[in-house]
Amino acid sequence: MTSIRSTASEMSAALAAGTITSVELTEAHFARIEDVDSDVHAFLYLDKAGALAQAAESDAKRSRGEAQSPLSGVPLALKDLLTQKGIPTTCGSKMLEGWRPPYDSTVVAKLKSAGVVILGKTNMDEFAMGSSTENSAYGPSHNPWDLTRIPGGSGGGSAAAIAAFEAPLAIGSDTGGSIRQPAAVTGTVGVKPTYGGVSRYGLIAFSSSLDQAGPCARTVLDAALLHEVIAGHDERDSTSINAPVPQVVKAAKKLDIKGMKIGVVKELQGDGFQAGVLERFHDGLDALVSAGAELVEVSCPTFDYALAAYYLIAPSECSSNLARFDSMRYGIRVGDDGVRGAEEIMNLTRHEGFGPEVKRRIILGTYALSSGYYDAYYGSAQKVRTLLMRDFNAAFAQADVLVSPTAPTTAFKIGAIEDPLAMYLNDIATIPVNMAGIGGMSLPCGLAPEDGLPVGFQIMAPAMRDDLMYQVGGALEATLLAKWGAPILDLAPVLAAK
């Protein structure tokens, strides 16, 4: 029997068999959202009329016997930084409050073409800057495992929607871990594709050399199905890779990793990592060995400098990208009383429109790019980036994929971390992937014994070999599921009765 707790692939099969319609499935998810989202706050905007129209169109095509994509009629939640024509797109910021884009992003256009039903826009840290969704101008999202805790960031709304069974699929974006870290702390699956593997056209930019949209789901196969829908070359994105999309669905179904070499990154465990996180990570390693893989330890010494280099490169690009929100061309306008000049209006608008974390990063990035400091800061950070790539290349010469914990801790309490530097450390294991432009996945590997909260297992693959991380992820998921006897989200204590 199909329910909101079914996987996306199960929903797809039920739609194909005619045991449920897309309209019924969509209505069931809106009912779930009405029941729980006042607690979770995963969504910033719901497009009920538009979603039901999309669902009805999918049902009509199916009744006429027209060819359907595997995810046609399946509902999805969309992170609020991808433009959708006529639908409010805020990036979690007051700066874009009320803005309705006149065009679809390429990702949204692909979703619509595939018949995927877009339920609405999900909450996020403002302009994707954060690890907890606490930086949203519209209030934090809450972790369905414990409503007093964060669901990760910046894409906490998308991960929370999936974990709370408000949607079976979601789209996130990952600049330094914003898909994978929320997946880790909510017990879901999140994938950052190879940079350039999914078009950035219509994805409102934070850091253009790092940003990458990707799939969020409850299973590896569901993530793969969504990955194949949104991936592919796009002439409107100059960074888009003109190459065939890796066969990630086929890889996710393979479940065979006998003889594969798994590189365990020495630098991404130990100091700073919660004991229970490391315990569950090693359980995941044991599961890979039991499935026939071989473990090899690899060392990537420059990973120790990745965080510092990232927080020069990303803010520098942010200060450039967010300069467009000047009250003259984009965003809100504050203080335009017919008396004030343009410069004063611009200052008032940016003061009111941007939150503290965005201002912090703009200031940091502007300083790093300023005359006399460019080479010392931004230039040096780019050199570190090159060394990171060399470390990855050397590691991949020894192993098919690399693995680590996704996040150093489980979900922390909302308001528990006030120091920005302490917050940045949440991305210590995910940032190297973005710096190198390769693919990364997080999937659940159990619950930490200290607090009973989910732990994420990260798999990293060479550029344009995203199929390898799906192959390893699918096998690990199947091995752990056989051990647990039930999906990990069935163990979540919160919202279970609703």
Tens digits of residue pLDDT in 3-16: 899 999 999 999 99
Q: Is 80 exceeded by the pLDDT of residue 74?
A: yes
Q: Is 60 exceeded by the pLDDT of residue 261?
A: yes
Do 218 and 120 belong together in one domain?
Answer: yes
Q: Which of 178, 199, 319, 327 is catalytic?
A: 178
What number of helices (H) and strands (E) belong to the chain? 16, 11
Do 378 and 236 belong together in one domain?
Answer: no
Q: Is 60 exceeded by the pLDDT of residue 266?
A: yes
Do 254 and 319 belong together in one domain?
Answer: no
Q: What's the pLDDT at 371?
A: 86
Cα 288 from Cα 254, distance rounded (Å): 14
Classify 311 as helix, strand or coil: helix
Give DSSP secondary structure letters for 102-118: SS--HHHHHHHHTT-EE
Q: What's the pLDDT at 62?
A: 97
Among the listed residues 412, 494, 486, 416, the one whose alpha carbon sits nearest the alpha carbon of residue 145: 494
pTM for the whole structure: 0.97
> Annotated catalytic, 371?
no
Q: Which of 79, 110, 121, 192 is catalytic?
A: 79
Do 418 and 451 belong together in one domain?
Answer: yes
Neighbours of 52 (CB within 10 A): 17
> Annotated catalytic, 79?
yes
Do 122 and 199 belong together in one domain?
Answer: yes
Among the listed residues 116, 34, 128, 37, the one whose alpha carbon sits nearest the alpha carbon of residue 90: 128
Mean pLDDT for 159-173 is 98
Do 91 and 203 belong together in one domain?
Answer: yes
Q: Is 90 exceeded by the pLDDT of residue 336?
A: no
Q: What's the pLDDT at 498?
A: 54
Q: Which residue has the tokens 């929100």?
A: 325
Do 172 and 90 belong together in one domain?
Answer: yes
Q: What's the pLDDT at 132?
A: 98
Q: What's the pLDDT at 1?
A: 66
Residue 3 belongs to a domain: no
Q: Alpha helix locations (H) across 18-114?
A: 22-40, 48-63, 106-113
Structure tokens at 405: 């914990």
Q: What's the pLDDT at 496?
A: 57
Structure tokens at 287: 């599961």
Residue 352 belongs to a domain: yes
Do 196 and 263 belong together in one domain?
Answer: yes
Residue 311 belongs to a domain: yes
pLDDT confidence bin for 115, thresholds 50/70/90? very high
Do 407 and 477 belong together in one domain?
Answer: yes
Residue 471 belongs to a domain: yes
Do 181 and 39 belong together in one domain?
Answer: yes
Cα 64 from Cα 75, distance rounded (Å): 21
Do 34 and 172 belong together in one domain?
Answer: yes
Cis bond leading into 370, ω under 30°? no
**Cβ partners under 8 Å of residue 406, min gap 6:** 177, 180, 181, 183, 184, 429, 430, 442, 455, 456, 457, 458
Query: Residues 173, 181: contact at Cβ < 8 Å?
Result: no
Mean pLDDT for 421-447 is 97
CATH classification at residue 483: 3.90.1300.10
Cα 147 from Cα 61, distance rounded (Å): 40
Residue 2 belongs to a domain: no
Query: Residues 229, 260: contact at Cβ < 8 Å?
Result: no
Which of 211-225, 360-374, 447-461 is least confident? Answer: 360-374
Residue 496 belongs to a domain: no
Q: Which of 69, 154, 327, 442 is catalytic?
A: 154
Tens digits of residue pLDDT in 445-497: 999 999 999 999 999 999 999 999 999 999 999 999 999 998 999 888 766 55
Q: What's the pLDDT at 404?
A: 98
Share of the chain above pLDDT 90, in %: 91
Q: What's the pLDDT at 474?
A: 98
Do 62 and 160 belong together in one domain?
Answer: yes
C-alpha count within 13 angstroms, C-beta hemisphere, residue 383: 7
Domain boundary among 365, 383, 401: 383
One-letter amino acid for residue 291 of the chain: A
Residue 316 belongs to a domain: yes
Query: Residues 301, 390: contact at Cβ < 8 Å?
Result: no
- CA distances for 456 relative to 40, 119, 130, 258, 306, angstroms: 21, 27, 18, 23, 20
> Annotated catalytic, 178?
yes
Tens digits of residue pLDDT in 315-325: 999 999 999 99
pLDDT confidence bin for 341, thresholds 50/70/90? confident
Tens digits of residue pLDDT in 368-399: 999 888 989 999 999 999 999 999 999 999 99
Domain extent for 482: 8-303+386-491
Cα 60 from Cα 9, distance rounded (Å): 20
Cα 182 from Cα 190, distance rounded (Å): 8
Q: What's the pLDDT at 337?
A: 82
Residue 367 belongs to a domain: yes
- What are the respective helix, strand and coil percentages of the chain, to the nearest 5? 45, 15, 40
Mean pLDDT for 211-238 is 98
Torsion over CA: 212, 218, 224, 230 (sign): negative
Cα 169 from Cα 378, distance rounded (Å): 37
Domain boundary among 333, 358, 383: 383
Q: Is 90 exceeded by the pLDDT of residue 40?
A: yes
Domain boundary among 383, 408, 439: 383
Q: What's the total number of domains in the chain?
A: 2
